């Protein structure tokens, strides 16, 4: 009989489940999702959890918490797998292998232009008319930004009208790609507003990184040809580009057009140099993802390397959580649908390789939900056919997975495996070092903490410039690392400018007045340590606030700068009357204190600078002023040299700008003052 008694309603729901593929979710009494799983047969799979005595295993611990269940029947196992991982990403259950949902991948973007909608002949005629009309090669409104495609870094939702290349594993890889396009094809990277207001070539033109379309140094037709070549290059069609460029060069030479031939010669040389610098030959593969998994020390790493357009773009490591908790439960999916859920002992005897397969499949299922799948996947372990079929069904494209590659593909995989080893070793070393620092600080300050991972430290700092735009920061350290999502900034008001003590009083009162009340009723938790950047004065102010709120004074520790404010000579000042201490410049505890203090200082300074910049232009941007669109904004910035210049201008000066009426000038002046 099961060790834990569940409600009759829950058991009746289990008994009534259909013999269909689907997804199930388990919830505890508080409504927190515990586990999300898929099944080819919902009734058999879910019943296996409730029909066995799992004892004190991980499965038993999870099953004992189940208070409610939800199920969704679907048409196929592929649909179940897709739905399962959508729910895992959105619900983040405790007993599933989870990968952090990072920001969207960066892309290299080439904007669409009117040149793509008209023939090259029309573009050439239009460009010639514009140059003749103005009588000069300068811009003066001749060239429109939408005639000349722009290459840019991009992250976000894609638009069909533009061209996107990627995804890339890192921002650095995108920047490197843009640099290559600048060197070889001289495509512009400037914003449209900058393009529209150029009257002479910029520095990029001088160093031969741009062909100068903004000032008419290249026709729209020739520029469009360079854009097409750049797109072909990004798609891996390098040999065909070389042949076209060489043929054009020889054609110009035959016509004695030596300047044009020299430009093409330089382009061919630059492209040849780029191709020579590529350290990896693709062997004919253009778009490939290489996935390698490594498991060690209770942690796992999935290293993803990318090949796009025949170019190896680098790699990116991912570190999943809940691997230990999920392995016993997730292993059930490896068995036939009619088998019972595995016991914890079975999970313990499970080979490490099977856990790596689970991690790999979890990554593939979660990662490719929102990212295009390349036609070829090279993996360190064999993924299930059901997963590959689900990816094919979801993407609508043919996908081929190889786990035992040869030749160049094997070189890629071995490199990805090596990088997975290195990244995992780095992570374990960093975690060990950070845990040692946490332990050292807890011991140095005699903080009683059964679980060091739950040790919570909050640190405060004040920043201003001669009393202007005073900002206070609060940063949080927990789980052996900084918790940036819990950082807070406070704008300080109604104090004497430059009074750091009053600022500290205000921020601590605002931070802990409500928190103190909530903690008494068990609705909130106070930090185990409160650091303030300062010595006796700051600590005395913090002591007064805590005394008024009835909080423990021993929580407060001031970080007092040492002699000559040298790093490593800081002393700790206590609010409860203890003598201040010096931990030593090589102390792991002091290193952690300095790390947290420096992060609070950085966070406060960035907030103060942003607030100061906003205040100095009147608290409003030009774009926020009614009646100011892109053209008027550009005219104002061109006339006065920037937002600060507009802020320093009078109403009469602003009204003299083309397109700005007297009434609008007064509105601009009011907004900036």
pLDDT of 185 strictly over 70: yes
How high is the pLDDT of residue 85? 85
Smallest CA-to-CA distance from 180 within 221, 220, 209 is with 209
Q: What percent of the chain has pLDDT over 70?
A: 85
**pLDDT above 90 (res 640):** no
CATH number among 3.30.70.2390, 3.40.1280.10, 3.40.190.10, 3.30.420.340, domain 452-615: 3.30.420.340
pLDDT value of residue 542: 93
φ/ψ of 518, rounded to 5, equals: -65, -35
Q: What is the pLDDT of residue 138?
A: 40
Share of the chain above pLDDT 90, in %: 20
Residue-wise pLDDT tens digits, 112-169: 886 565 544 454 444 444 434 444 344 444 567 888 999 998 887 777 788 888 778 8
Name 175's Cβ contacts closer than 8 Å, sequence gap at least 6. Answer: 153
Q: φ and ψ at 483, to 5 degrees?
A: -105, 85
CATH of domain 288-319+346-425: 3.30.420
Mean pLDDT across the stretch 365-375?
84
pLDDT band at 69 (very low <50, low <70, confident <90, very high): very high
Q: How far apart are CA 420 and CA 428, in angstroms?
A: 12
Residue 55: closest CA among 331, 334, 342: 342
Residue 482, pLDDT above cutoff 70: yes
Give the C-alpha separation, 171 to 158, whole Å. Answer: 17
Q: What is the mean pLDDT of the chain?
A: 81
For residue 177, the model assigns a pLDDT of 83
Per-residue b or e along 614-638, where b marks 16 or more CB atoms closer than 10 Å to that residue's CB: eeebbebebeebeebeeebbbbbbe
Task: Tell me: pLDDT of 332 over 50.
Answer: no
Lowest mean pLDDT among 35-39, 497-501, 562-566, 669-673: 562-566
pLDDT at 3 over 60: no
The pLDDT value given to residue 127: 43
Question: What mean pLDDT is predicted for residues 339-352?
Answer: 46
**Which part of the chain is CATH 3.30.420.340?**
452-615
State phi, psi for 376 to the nearest 5 degrees. -130, 130
Structure tokens at 111: 């904007």
**Rounded mean pLDDT of 642-661?**
84
The strand pairing partners of 465, in sequence order, are 468
- Dmax over Cα atoms in the chain, in whole Å? 95
Gap between the Cα atoms of 198 and 406, Å rounded: 53
Residue 521: is its pLDDT beyond 70?
Answer: yes
Higher per-residue pLDDT: 57 or 549 = 549
How confident is the model at residue 271, as a pLDDT? 64
Which of 646, 657, 653 is closest to 618 using CA atoms? Answer: 646
Closest CA to 559 of 592, 586, 527, 597: 597
Q: Kindly state the average pLDDT of the residues 181-188.
A: 86
Name the percent of the chain in helix, strand, coil, to the closest 5: 50, 15, 35
Question: How many C-beta neighbours within 10 Å does residue 561 have?
Answer: 15
Q: What number is the average pLDDT over the span 565-593?
A: 84
Paired with 477 in beta bridges are: 457, 482
**Cα 538 from Cα 552, distance rounded (Å):** 17
Give 549's contacts (C-beta < 8 A, 6+ positions apart): 509, 512, 513, 516
The token pair at 632 is: 């008027």
Beta strand spans in 265-351 (E) = 288-296, 299-308, 311-318
pLDDT of residue 270: 66
**Range(s) of the chain covered by CATH 3.40.1440.10:** 8-88
- The model carries a pTM of 0.61
Q: Average pLDDT of 547-567?
A: 84
**Within 10 Å of residue 648's Cβ, how many Cβ atoms?**
13
- Backbone φ and ψ of 562, nearest 5°: -80, -170
Is-cis flag, bond preceding 237, omega within 30? no
Outline which parts of the chain fall under CATH 1.10.150.20.
Answer: 617-672
Contact between residue 96 and residue 88 where contact means Cβ atoms under 8 Å apart: yes
**Over 90: is that where the pLDDT of 82 sits?**
no
- Do the beta carbons of residue 230 and residue 111 sit within 8 Å? no
Q: Which residues of 210-231 are buried (b: 16+ CB within 10 A; e: fewer)?
A: bbbbbbbbbbbbbbbbbbbbbb
Number of alpha carbons in the 13 Å side-chain half-sphere of residue 131: 15
The bridge status of strand 571-574 relative to strand 400-402 is unpaired
State in words which class domain 617-672 has.
mainly alpha
What pLDDT score was predicted for residue 618?
44
User: Does position 610 have pLDDT exceeding 80, yes or no?
Assistant: no
HEC profile of 605-652: HHHHHHHHHHHHCCCCCHHHCCCCCHHHHHHHHHHHCCHHHHHHCCHH
**pLDDT range class, residue 230, cuts 50, 70, 90:** confident
**What CATH number was assigned to the domain covering residues 8-88?**
3.40.1440.10
State yes or no: pLDDT of 303 exceeds 90. Answer: yes
Grade residue 334 by pLDDT with cuts at 50, 70 and 90.
Answer: very low
Confidence at 344, pLDDT banded by 50, 70, 90 = very low
Tell me what pLDDT residue 128 has.
42
Instruction: Give DSSP secondary structure letters for 571-589.
Output: EEEETTSPPPB---TT-HH
Q: What is the per-residue pLDDT for 136?
A: 39
User: What distance in Å separates the CA atoms of residue 292 and residue 318, rounded to the nearest whole number?
Assistant: 10
């Amino acid at each position: 009989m099961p060790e834990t008694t569940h409600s009759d309603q829950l058991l009746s729901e289990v008994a009534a489940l259909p013999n269909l593929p689907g997804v199930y979710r388990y919830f505890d009494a508080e409504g927190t999702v515990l586990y999300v799983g898929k099944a080819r047969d919902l009734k058999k799979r879910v019943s296996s959890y409730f029909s066995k005595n799992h004892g004190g295993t991980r499965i038993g611990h999870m099953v004992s918490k189940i208070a409610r269940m939800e199920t969704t029947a679907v048409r196929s196992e592929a649909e179940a797998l897709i739905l399962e991982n959508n729910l895992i990403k959105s619900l983040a259950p405790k007993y599933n292998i989870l990968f952090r949902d990072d920001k969207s991948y960066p892309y290299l973007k080439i904007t669409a232009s009117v040149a793509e909608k008209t023939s090259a002949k029309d573009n050439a005629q239009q460009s010639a008319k514009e140059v003749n009309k103005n009588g000069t090669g300068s811009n003066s409104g001749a060239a429109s930004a939408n005639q000349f495609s722009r290459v840019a870094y991009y992250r976000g939702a894609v638009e069909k009208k533009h061209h996107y290349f990627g995804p890339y594993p890192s921002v650095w890889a995108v920047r490197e790609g843009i640099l290559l396009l600048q060197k070889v094809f001289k495509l512009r990277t400037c914003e449209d507003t900058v393009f529209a207001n150029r009257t002479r070539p910029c520095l990029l033109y001088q160093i031969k990184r741009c062909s100068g379309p903004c000032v008419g140094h290249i026709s729209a037709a020739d520029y469009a040809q360079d854009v097409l070549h750049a797109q072909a290059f990004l798609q891996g069609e390098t040999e065909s580009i070389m042949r076209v460029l060489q043929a054009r060069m020889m054609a110009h030479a035959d016509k004695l057009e030596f300047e044009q031939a020299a430009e093409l010669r330089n382009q061919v040389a630059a492209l040849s140099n780029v191709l020579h610098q590529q350290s990896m030959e693709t062997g004919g593969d253009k778009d490939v993802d290489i996935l390698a998994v490594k498991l060690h020390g209770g942690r796992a790493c999935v290293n993803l390397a990318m090949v796009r357009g025949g170019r190896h773009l680098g790699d990116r490591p991912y570190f999943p959580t809940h691997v230990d908790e999920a392995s016993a439960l997730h292993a059930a999916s490896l068995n036939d649908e009619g088998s019972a859920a595995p016991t914890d002992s079975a999970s313990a005897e499970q080979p490490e390789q099977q856990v790596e397969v689970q991690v790999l499949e979890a990554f593939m299922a979660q990662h490719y939900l929102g990212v295009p799948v390349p036609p070829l996947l090279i993996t360190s372990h064999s993924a299930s056919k059901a997963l590959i079929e689900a990816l094919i069904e979801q993407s609508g494209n043919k996908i081929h997975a190889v786990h035992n590659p040869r030749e160049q593909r094997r070189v890629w995989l071995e490199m990805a495996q090596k990088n997975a080893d290195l990244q995992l070793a780095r992570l374990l070393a960093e975690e060990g070092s950070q845990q040692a620092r946490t332990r050292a600080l807890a011991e140095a300050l005699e903080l009683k903490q059964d679980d060091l991972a739950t040790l919570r430290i909050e640190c405060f700092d004040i920043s201003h410039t001669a009393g202007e735009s005073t900002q206070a920061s609060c940063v949080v350290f927990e789980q052996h690392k900084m918790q940036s999502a819990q950082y807070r900034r406070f704008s300080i008001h109604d104090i004497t400018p430059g009074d750091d003590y009053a600022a500290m009083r205000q921020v601590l009162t605002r931070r802990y007045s409500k928190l103190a009340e909530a903690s008494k009723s068990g609705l909130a938790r106070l930090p185990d340590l409160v650091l303030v950047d300062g010595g006796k004065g700051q600590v005395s102010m913090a002591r007064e606030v805590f005394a008024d709120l009835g909080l423990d004074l021993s929580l407060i520790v001031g970080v007092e700068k040492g002699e000559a404010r040298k790093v490593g000579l800081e002393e700790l000042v206590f609010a409860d009357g203890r003598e201040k201490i010096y931990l030593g410049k090589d102390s792991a505890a002091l290193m952690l204190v300095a790390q947290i203090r420096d992060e609070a200082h950085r966070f406060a300074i960035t907030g103060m600078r942003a607030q100061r910049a906003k205040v100095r232009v009147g608290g409003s941007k030009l774009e926020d002023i009614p009646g100011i669109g892109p053209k008027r904004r550009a005219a104002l910035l061109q006339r006065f040299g920037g937002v600060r210049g507009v802020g320093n201008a009078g109403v009469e000066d602003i009204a003299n700008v083309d397109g700005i009426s007297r009434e609008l000038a007064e509105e601009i002046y009011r907004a900036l003052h």
